[in-house]
A and B are shown apart, each in its own frame.
Chain A
Amino acid sequence: MTDLTSGKTLNRRRFLGAAGLAGAGAALSGVPAIAGETAKSEALITDVQDWQRYLGEGVDKHPYGVPSKFEKNVIRRDVPWLTASAESSVNFTPLHELDGIITPSGLCFERHHGGVAEINPADHRLMINGLVDKPLVFTMDDIKRMPRVNKVYFLECAANSGMEWRGSQLNGCQFTHGMIHNVMYTGVPLKVLLDEAGLKPNAKWLMLEGADSSGMNRSLPIEKALNDVILAFAMNGEALRPEQGYPLRAVIPGWEGNLWVKWLRRVEAGDQPWQTREETSKYTDLLANGTSRKHTFVMDAKSVVTNPSPQAPLKHKGRNVLSGLAWSGRGTVKRVDVSLDGGRNWQTARIDGPVFDKSVVRFYVDFEWNGQELMIQSRAIDSTGYVQPSKDELRKVRGVNSIYHNNGIQTWLVRSGGETENVEIG
């Protein structure tokens, strides 16, 4: 255990030792050992395979491509017992199957309150009214004639990890942490549209409203709206997916996903919040003393190890790659620490890839595993100095009934066979 938590980079001697262990494990699974040792030839190499002999599909077969059939497990999953109806429900991004920081559009988790509205963009209208000089109606063509920006942001559901407040419930980071996605948005700053209508000086709040049958509406402080809110029509280079609000959605960087109103049809300016259902009955955080926080907009710093995890157990002794995601709604992720012994000792992980404001980052720890039990944790630290707390630290302040904003440290127990479990430790 001490060896694992030392944080030293593997040197050549240790790597060879680790590789020997990997070879021993691999022999059982039929994979040849490393070069230099006696190895059996593989038919995969010595025989000509079908894909080497016959023609593959032509360029006319897939005008819009799909993943390899060997990736058919890389899918969104839902938990039927969570909600009464699939149209007001959620599914989960398969974080354990992904790498880098960009979530493929077709795998971005969905959360609807009245199912997916199907809207022809030619029929979509955006209205701006209320405390403005001139109430306006925009078509999608109008919006696409405005100056654009491109930004990468995470969208995390306020309820992500919410089922875990009382203890470990769901076995897999897809289920415990998968109400998040991270994509590049293209759109127009909301400020541009508000300037067209002309905000009155007493406009302090906006209400965003969706065109779907839930009529999703929420109040948004004007400072945030004028700072970095985008009305996006594209994600990852193409039009929004229907389930992500096609043809137009709000992007509210760093703030809880519920505010990111999809199928956005109206923005109203007012001088106080509206106290809509989604900011009173829902998305308020009940504390142990019976009072509730409201307008808990920001998503605090959080992280999760995606590999290994219950759906992605360790398969090999010796050399392994630990990988995960970290994010903060308050700014950039500055550092991620990883523990392999349940938080007794920590080492700083390597962040690789782009580090954007209010976007996820990807982190890695290259390590050796000799088959001993591990208790894996990760701890994000953001640009404001906020350190991701343990679940127990959060429970001390909030109790167990606040439903939303659970950013507590996750523990995965890796057993001697590599099987990995969602656990709580004490």
Chain B
Amino acid sequence: MSKSASAVALVLTAILLGSIAGEGSAQQVANREVTKPAAKLGLGRPATADEIAAWDTDVRADGRGLPEGKGTVKQGDELFQERCASCHGEFGQGVGRWPVLAGGAGTLKADRPDKTVGSFWPDASTVFDYIKRAMPYGNAQSLTNDEVYALTAYLLSMNDVVKDENFELSHKNFTSIKMPNASAFFEDDRETSEKQFWNKNPCMKDCRPAPKVTGRAMSIDVTPDGKSGPKVE
């Protein structure tokens, strides 16, 4: 590299570092001036349409990203028994400790809530997106789009979100599905709902009456024995 080329590179680095520095951090780089918008480095290459199609399978809550396709509750039932029921149970009730997918309606205020696709999930799109990208567990991305539509339809049916076993779910009618718990989520509000935790003068002396032990992990006794931890070579 010529002297002038390395000088250019140093200036470029300084600009980039300056433009990413935040505020008030103890870890900031010394250089903070921001002069121009960052120049392009000229690294990377254009992504091809095929490459984007192969990886970009995500589906948003408004249906953006849904591929063409369709599948019925009945088709989904057959597929589910073959590909899913060994872990999730015939009716999505879960085998052993594997996740329960159906039921639990109306339990979210209970002492032990049952959070399933039907009782808790806000968007049907998430069912499609997650099955398509990550299921079956151990053999992900092995389902066709039609199969994912059918399985999603069956899951909605098991959860009484659709009532007709002849129902066919497709990219055309997908966004008409409304999930029972859709409206029960709200954005993080800790800075207002928990503002009492910002306290300029926390108590230092005689803050409370003498404490008494009210619960002990030892009486529950579920901690793994330290000696039984994994071996490290």
Residues of A within 8 A of B123 (CB): 275, 280
Residues of B within 8 A of A297 (CB): 188
Count of chain A to chain B residue pairs whose CB atoms are closer than 8 Å in the complex: 297
Instruction: State how many angstroms separate the Cβ of A6 from the closest Cβ of chain B.
Output: 11
A-B contact pairs, 16 of them (CB 8 A): A76-B229, A79-B222, A91-B230, A127-B51, A134-B46, A137-B46, A147-B16, A147-B17, A151-B27, A170-B222, A217-B58, A272-B62, A280-B122, A291-B186, A341-B211, A345-B205
Instruction: State how many angstroms separate the Cβ of B166 from the closest Cβ of chain A.
Output: 28
B145 interface contact, C-beta 8 A = no
Chain A 166-192: CB-based contact to B (< 8 A → 1; otherwise 0) = 011111100100000000000001011
User: Chain B's interface: helix, strand, loop or mixed, by majority?
Assistant: loop
Which of chain B's residues 40-85 have a Cβ closer than 8 Å to chain A?
40-41, 43-47, 51-52, 55-56, 58-62
In the assembled complex, the Cα of A175 lies from the Cα of B223 at a distance in Å of 8
In the assembled complex, the Cα of A89 lies from the Cα of B193 at a distance in Å of 32
Q: Is the CB of B47 within 8 A of A346?
A: no
Residues of B within 8 A of A355 (CB): 26
Residues of B within 8 A of A214 (CB): 133-134, 140
Chain B 168-197: CB-based contact to A (< 8 A → 1; otherwise 0) = 000000000000000011111110011011
Q: Is the CB of B206 within 8 A of A85?
A: no
Chain B 91-129: CB-based contact to A (< 8 A → 1; otherwise 0) = 000001111000000001100010101001111011001
Instruction: State how many angstroms separate the Cβ of B142 from the closest Cβ of chain A.
Output: 11
Contact A135/B52 with A129-B47, A277-B126, A346-B207 known, Cβ cut-off 8 Å: yes
Residues of A within 8 A of B190 (CB): 293, 296, 298, 300
Q: Is the CB of B194 within 8 A of A397?
A: yes
Residues of A within 8 A of B19 (CB): 191
Contact A346/B203 with A75-B230, A169-B217 known, Cβ cut-off 8 Å: yes
Q: Is the CB of B217 within 8 A of A423?
A: yes
Which 9 pairs, one residue from A and one from B, show the smallest C-beta to C-beta distance?
A: A215-B133, A342-B211, A424-B215, A84-B97, A422-B217, A136-B44, A77-B229, A135-B47, A290-B108
A209 interface contact, C-beta 8 A = yes
In the assembled complex, the Cα of A72 lies from the Cα of B220 at a distance in Å of 27
Interface range for A: 35 or more
Q: Is the CB of A265 within 8 A of B211?
A: no
Instruction: State how many angstroms separate the Cβ of B46 from the closest Cβ of chain A.
Output: 6
- Pick from A73, A171, A298, A384: contact of B218, CB below 8 A: A171
Residue of A nearest to B23 (CB): A227
Instruction: State how many angstroms separate the Cβ of B70 from the closest Cβ of chain A.
Output: 22
Residues of A within 8 A of B27 (CB): 151-152, 356-357, 359
Residues of B within 8 A of A359 (CB): 27
Which of chain A's residues 368-397 have a Cβ closer than 8 Å to chain B?
375, 379, 381, 383-389, 393, 397
In the assembled complex, the Cα of A426 lies from the Cα of B218 at a distance in Å of 17
Interface segment, A17-25, A40-48, A138-146?
A: A138-146
Q: Is the CB of A217 within 8 A of B26?
A: no
Contact A84/B20 with A293-B188, A346-B207 known, Cβ cut-off 8 Å: no
